[in-house]
Structure 1
């Protein structure tokens, strides 16, 4: 991914998933602590099978201390890497090996709990780390077969469920199956959620790259249009002073309208160049949020064939900001879509909600089709049926997302649509930026 912010977001998603998976291992370890404590008590006191109970409880206490330390570390913002997950599983394997060594070695029916650790490693770790864990588990099994302390546990498997060994194997099997299903399902859900979020980030990177390409094309076109527009302005100015136009009132009025439209085109071209970062030092103006909104709406109304428009600015704070052409164009795009869908009436309402400026644009048009709402803000999603349709909303969504805001839409029950723009004030107001940066 070329966008640094997208790369950082992807790394953050991986880290969040790593923390969730580490939490699953911590929860499993607490189950192991409780299960081992219960099993040691039942075997030693219930079946009267002698166990080195002090040593086994000491191993269990060490595992509990390690788990508490893991919980403290899990709450820190440190990255949960493949190495840390491997070490955590290695500690579980080592603890299981110590307990089996003290309670029968390879003849202990709970020897098959190694499979639980290996399966978790296959899901969580890289192939190299997984095979390393497999090799260590096999080595531990072999070591227990050679050096494990045998217990006076009858291996009479012909006795069926009455045999303590068969009972132990049944409990081990049930534990393996239950814990595998529970924790593999949870970890798999974490990994699927991570993949979905990464896919969303890749889609966002592709869309932003599309916006960049469009911006480069628009900037190049703006440069090319500058000269012919200037030429047209000079020619129209000369025509206006010619006697045929001065004598004909109707022609003169049309000429004035042509000059106004050429001037509007020049303003649009200047805005494109400004958004591209050219002449920004000359054109940036310090203003306030309230004034910025008033001027934006005033300019939009004067350059569009608006029949009836309701404007309700409830943002009464004098927060200083630098006039942002990208935000201005974004709001105008949404207003243009509302006006096209509802030529007779549309409205804009602005207010503050917490640390955000919320702008709501409402119209009485046909509303959005369900499939368009499902793909809202995607390029070329439009009901207008013309090439390039839907790019206005696409650009608006991406401009808002670039500064940490959102654009959402829904249909009104009485007809028409509502588009809501939410922008964090810290992203473009001077006072909020100072507060945000402390």
Structure 2
């Protein structure tokens, strides 16, 4: 069976460049729309003639930069700091070009350079941020060199300062709105980054627990192999001893002991197989229905007969490769349910599209709300004993490595239910279906 892994968590350091580029693209679209609207208002409604060719040319360049940036994001690779610096410097140059052809520093929208500087300070490294500052200063100095003045018609020519103040107010509102939108989006990105870091840290801690428990289980399995084999031989000798052959009651006890030792040896073999140490043992080919049915039959035979109520709603069967680790953790969940609900355990297997769902229900006291919020975290248990809570922890991690999910809830009728959802593609072999 090909190994399936859980969906990877995007590392914040790798994803930050792409998020920042996406943010610049959105702000640039807003800037393009605002510039087109401004040109229409000033040139059309106010009657102030503008040099449309250079102004619209700059807008076309900004659109081209956005389209190139979108194509760059679709490539799937991370975005470097130098790329963000380059596009911000292009923005500074485009703004300088437009201001040069619309009055230079006398244009009230010259303050928009501040927006570029703030974005550079937040998005870029310190050295690159200073490069954007230097670019803005160079652009403002260049605006003093032979800018194209605006010819103001009446009544604006009579009081140009009033027009400048109105333009400055519009520029201030524009900068304020864009900065709020920009900072709000950056704050959300930071929260998502912190959440991703916390998730990655939690997963690393859980995987460290898995490694340590795997080493402990593997070592214990190796150590138990020899004494279990010795016990099996001794029990066989006792059962064949002439002095004990006629003692029916003792023979029954010895048979139970032999069965218990055999089950212990099977568990040890399963642990070693799950750890990849069972040399020469081929994977077991089975079907989804047989996989679940075997778990139910073995549990009924070795635990509490008549307790486990099995409902088969799988429908059309599918060929799969049996995963010993998955089987073991499902056994553990059923055992946990039996501890709190020895009279009844419900196991339901069903198909939900391309997912195999296994639900294990009980009539016990249910989960505490805090337990439901931290389902699958190690050493969190309602049983109050040291080392408890590992059953669900192992279940969550084994299922997660197969690309599945584990959820838990309390039943309306009392008790709890643990739901295991597995993608069939992660455990299936081939495409054959069985009716």
TM-score (norm 1): 0.89
> For 1:41 and 1:287, how far apart are their aligned partners in 2?
71
- Contact 1:85/1:125 (<8 A) preserved: yes
Q: Secondary structure at the match of 2:280?
A: helix
How far residue 142 of structure 1 moved from its aligned partner, in angstroms, is: 2.3
Q: Where does 1:30-429 land on structure 2 (aligned, <5 Å)?
A: 30-151=29-150, 163-429=162-428
How far residue 41 of structure 1 moved from its aligned partner, in angstroms, is: 3.6
> For 1:310 and 1:107, how far apart are their aligned partners in 2?
83
1:297-341 CA deviation, whole Å, 9 max, x = no partner? 111111112442211222243422222201111211111111112
How far residue 286 of structure 1 moved from its aligned partner, in angstroms, is: 2.0
How far residue 19 of structure 1 moved from its aligned partner, in angstroms, is: 4.2
- Contact 2:364/2:414 (<8 A) preserved: yes
- Distance change in 2, residues 1:38/1:287 (3 Å): closer
- Contact 2:6/2:401 (<8 A) preserved: no
Provide the residue aligned with 1:436 in structure 2: none
> For 2:412 and 2:165, how far apart are their aligned partners in 1?
66
> For 1:374 and 1:224, how far apart are their aligned partners in 2?
37
CA-based RMSD of the aligned residues comes to 2.8
- Contact 2:10/2:196 (<8 A) preserved: no
> For 1:99 and 1:6, how far apart are their aligned partners in 2?
52
How far residue 8 of structure 1 moved from its aligned partner, in angstroms, is: 9.1
> For 1:241 and 1:372, how far apart are their aligned partners in 2?
51
Q: Secondary structure at the match of 2:430?
A: helix
- Contact 1:106/1:144 (<8 A) preserved: yes
How many aligned residue pairs are there? 426
> For 1:188 and 1:91, how far apart are their aligned partners in 2?
25
Moved more, 191-200 or 249-258: 249-258
1:357-387 CA deviation, whole Å, 9 max, x = no partner? 1111111111100000010000011011111
1:253-309 CA deviation, whole Å, 9 max, x = no partner? 222222221111111111111111122532532222222221121111111124422
- Contact 2:300/2:306 (<8 A) preserved: no
> For 1:69 and 1:281, how far apart are their aligned partners in 2?
54
> For 2:183 and 2:75, how far apart are their aligned partners in 1?
24
Say which structure is richer in helix.
1
- Contact 2:309/2:346 (<8 A) preserved: yes
> For 1:257 and 1:383, how far apart are their aligned partners in 2?
32
How far residue 344 of structure 1 moved from its aligned partner, in angstroms, is: 0.4
Q: Secondary structure at the match of 2:365?
A: coil
- Contact 2:88/2:116 (<8 A) preserved: yes
- Distance change in 2, residues 1:390/1:314 (3 Å): same
- Contact 1:355/1:426 (<8 A) preserved: yes
Moved more, 314-323 or 106-115: 314-323
- Distance change in 2, residues 1:60/1:10 (3 Å): same
- Distance change in 2, residues 1:432/1:219 (3 Å): farther
Q: Secondary structure at the match of 2:392?
A: helix
Moved more, 274-283 or 178-187: 274-283
Q: Which runs of 5+ in 1 are unaligned?
A: 434-438
Moved more, 205-214 or 194-203: 194-203
- Contact 1:100/1:144 (<8 A) preserved: yes
Moved more, 139-148 or 204-213: 139-148
> For 1:408 and 1:233, how far apart are their aligned partners in 2?
40
How far residue 252 of structure 1 moved from its aligned partner, in angstroms, is: 2.8
1:75-118 CA deviation, whole Å, 9 max, x = no partner? 45343333333232222111111111112222322111111122
- Contact 1:103/1:151 (<8 A) preserved: yes
